[in-house]
């Protein structure tokens, strides 16, 4: 019987360490042991332990703590596994409808053991790639239809062929692991849970383009991913899978890790290359493209984590097998990170061609508290909001682009009716304006002006001309900015105006926030007939804005109130209402 403990960042943050110590102490002196694996995608139920019985049956236990972990261990020792904390069939529906390629090893292999990866077929694709050679590798990637999973969706084989055709004494393979989108955690989970899959894909790319050096540009905010990458690289050297004459083929290759300082703009490949060279991360115009003149002015192939994680599967199974999944223009699978107001948030990998509704409702169980979905933000700060009436949109690069959003790296933030779309647009514009490198005027000044207008609107100081001004500014920035950050920065604003213009008008004309979120446009009021005078709201108020006598109705001082919501969360009698504008909601 095997015990696999989800030990990625989400599991650790949820208490996996106490689960681990509880299991280890309970198993002391027995033949049972615990294996640490990465996140299996069911982030909503962490900490998770998967028990694989001697008959090969898989049983998942979630939301464990030390006490329940000990109980699970004791039941295993007795020979009859407990049903406590066992995930329900409804929760396990999360895994149905998925096709896992990139995530196939996450939650299954020990990310700190190369032997675990090899036992699961690791590096077989590398051996095959060495035997078939560069031209055949690129041909299989072309047949597969693999497009870059970092957001732009550029055909991978064209990038590889271009770098292969470039003549140079040195070439480089760079993995863009600078995952900076709010709500996105796909790359982190793969690097933490199955780092060898990414490294193997990079090495195959090295064979294809003629490079002997791989560089992983990873966020310093991902310490566990960095740790496991270093372990993986060291183990590869010990096994002779890195260095000179790998597998007796004459192929030489090695890796280096570069930690980024958290600049979102370094997700853009030319800014990333500048940072790699020790300079400030600022983009440059293209051409020349990195495939001709990249790192150290040498031909450089850049792909993101998910792109490289697909490569070994394609080489081992054939490009046609990958191309059999998906749509005509978007082949294979795509990993999405589901966050926000969805019931079962986590990592989902599905064939292209499903709809957003298929994922949000079919796999992730719908909206928390059975609320009504309002929109889904796709593509992070570079993407856009897709409204409820368009959630049957097929997920592929072309159809998502038609909505005004983009596929992006795969973040999906699900919003319900309690979300203010103007405030959401302001959040993303605040992010992009701060992350702008400042090199070009449209992005540096334009995003700042857009943020100022949005701030006025949510403060109840908006003017009727502001909507037209936002659209004009947004379109100007999209066409005039130097790089992808600026070209896409206005998208959240433009899509929310396109689909939720009525909310902007309510803020401006009626000085009202329909979602009751913008603090300057709402007030809190205690309903006297419902208040029982328990005083709990007063005790929880952080600014002493609530006063009254016990067993008598309390009152809120609107001048002191900061609209934090603590009173509503703690009132047991639903006696507190939110008033927006002059309309009680």
Domain ranges of the chain: 2-91, 114-323, 333-416, 421-509, 519-584
Q: Give kind and range of the element (H or E) at residue 433.
A: helix 421-435
User: Among the residues of 459-490, which ranges form H helices?
Assistant: 466-480, 484-488
How many whole angstroms separate alpha carbon 476 and alpha carbon 61?
52
Please tell me the CATH code under which domain 421-509 is placed.
Answer: 1.20.1440.230
Each residue's pLDDT tens digit, 418-469: 999 999 999 999 999 999 999 999 999 999 999 999 999 999 999 999 999 9
The dihedrals phi and psi of 112, each to the nearest 5 degrees, come to: -105, 20
- Is 519-584 the same fold as 333-416? no
DSSP secondary structure code for residue 45 in this structure: G
- Given a contact cutoff of 8 angstroms between Cβ atoms, the answer to whether 301 and 160 are in contact is yes
Fold classified for 114-323: Rossmann fold (3.40.50)
Collapsing DSSP to helix, strand or coil, 205 comes out as helix
Nearest to 464 by CA among 430, 436, 506: 506
Fold classified for 333-416: Ubiquitin-like (UB roll) (3.10.20)
pLDDT at 484: 85
Nearest to 545 by CA among 568, 528, 516: 568
Nearest to 312 by CA among 163, 192, 146: 146
Fold classified for 519-584: Alpha-Beta Plaits (3.30.70)
In the numeric block, which tokens belong to residue 179? 């995952």
In the numeric block, which tokens belong to residue 248? 């007796």
- What is the pTM for the complete model shown? 0.92
For residue 386, the number of C-alpha atoms closer than 13 Å in the C-beta half-sphere is: 29
What is the mean pLDDT for each group of 10 consecutive residues in the chain (585 residues)?
96 97 95 95 97 94 97 95 96 92 96 97 97 97 95 91 96 95 91 98 98 96 96 96 95 96 89 93 91 96 97 98 95 95 96 95 94 92 92 93 87 94 96 92 95 96 96 95 90 96 96 93 95 95 96 94 93 94 50
Please tell me the CATH code under which domain 2-91 is placed.
Answer: 3.40.30.10
If you compute the radius of gyration of the chain from its CA atoms, what whole number of angstroms results?
A: 26
pLDDT at 582: 53
Burial label for 354, CB within 10 Å (0-12, 13-18, 19+), is: buried
Strand bridging mode 213-219 / 373-378: unpaired
Cα 99 to Cα 74, 103, 326, distances in angstroms: 34, 9, 11
Each residue's pLDDT tens digit, 31-70: 999 999 999 999 999 999 999 999 999 999 999 999 999 9
Please count the other Cβ atoms lying within 10 Å of the Cβ belonging to residue 493: 31
Cα maximum dimension of the chain: 85
Using CA atoms of 89, 91, 96, 98 in order, give the dihedral in degrees to the nearest 10: -160
């Amino acid at each position: 019987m095997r015990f696999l403990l989800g030990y990625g960042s989400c599991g650790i943050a949820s208490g996996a360490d106490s689960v681990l110590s509880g299991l280890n102490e309970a198993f002391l002196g027995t033949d049972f042991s615990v294996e640490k694996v990465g996140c299996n995608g069911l982030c909503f139920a962490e900490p998770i332990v998967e028990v694989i019985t001697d008959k090969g049956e898989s049983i998942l236990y979630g939301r464990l703590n030390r006490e329940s972990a000990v109980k699970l261990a004791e039941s295993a020792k007795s020979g009859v596994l407990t049903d406590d904390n066992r995930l329900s069939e409804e929760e396990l529906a999360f895994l149905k409808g998925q096709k896992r390629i990139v995530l196939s090893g996450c939650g299954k292999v020990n990310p700190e053991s190369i032997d675990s990866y090899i036992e699961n077929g690791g590096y077989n694709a590398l051996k095959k790639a060495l035997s078939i050679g560069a031209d055949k590798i690129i041909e299989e990637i072309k047949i597969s239809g693999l497009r870059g999973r970092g957001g732009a969706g550029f055909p991978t084989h064209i990038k590889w062929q271009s770098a292969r055709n470039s003549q140079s004494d040195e070439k480089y393979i760079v993995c863009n692991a600078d995952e900076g989108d709010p709500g996105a955690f796909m790359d982190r989970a793969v690097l933490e849970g199955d780092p060898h899959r990414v490294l193997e894909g990079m090495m195959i790319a090295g064979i294809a383009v003629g490079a002997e050096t791989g560089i992983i540009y990873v966020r310093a905010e991902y310490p566990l991913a960095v740790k496991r990458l270093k372990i993986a690289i060291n183990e590869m050297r010990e096994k002779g899978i890195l260095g000179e004459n790998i597998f007796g083929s004459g192929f030489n290759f090695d890796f280096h890790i570069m930690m980024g300082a958290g600049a979102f703009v370094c997700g853009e490949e030319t800014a990333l290359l500048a940072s790699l060279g020790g300079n400030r991360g600022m983009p440059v115009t293209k051409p020349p493209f990195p495939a001709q003149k990249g790192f150290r002015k040498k031909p450089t192939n850049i792909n993101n984590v998910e792109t490289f994680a697909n490569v070994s599967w394609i080489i081992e199974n054939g490009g046609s097998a990958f191309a059999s999944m998906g749509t005509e223009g978007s082949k294979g699978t795509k990993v999405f990170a589901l966050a926000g107001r969805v019931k079962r948030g986590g990592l989902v990998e599905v064939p292209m061609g499903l709809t957003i509704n298929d994922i949000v409702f079919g796999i992730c169980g719908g909206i928390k508290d059975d609320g009504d979905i309002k929109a889904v933000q796709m593509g992070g700060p570079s993407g856009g909001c897709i409204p409820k009436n368009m959630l049957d949109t097929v997920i592929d690069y072309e159809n998502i682009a038609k909505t005004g959003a983009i596929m992006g790296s795969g973040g999906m933030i699900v919003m319900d009716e309690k979300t203010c779309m103007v405030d959401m647009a302001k959040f993303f514009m605040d992010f992009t304006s701060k992350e702008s490198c400042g090199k070009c005027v449209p992005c540096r000044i334009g995003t700042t002006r857009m943020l100022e207008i949005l701030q006025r609107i949510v403060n109840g100081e908006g003017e009727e001309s502001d909507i037209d001004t936002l659209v004009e500014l947004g379109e100007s920035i999209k066409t005039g900015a130097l790089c992808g950050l600026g070209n896409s920065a206005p998208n959240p604003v433009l899509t929310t105006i396109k689909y939720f213009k009525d909310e902007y008008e309510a803020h401006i004309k009626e000085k009202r926030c329909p979602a009751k979120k913008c603090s300057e446009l709402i007030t809190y009021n205690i309903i006297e007939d419902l208040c029982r005078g328990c005083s709990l709201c007063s005790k929880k108020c952080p600014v002493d804005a609530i006063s009254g006598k016990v067993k008598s109705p309390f009152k809120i001082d609107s001048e002191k109130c900061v609209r934090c919501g603590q009173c509503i969360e703690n009132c047991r009698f639903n006696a507190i209402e939110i008033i927006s504008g002059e309309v009680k909601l």
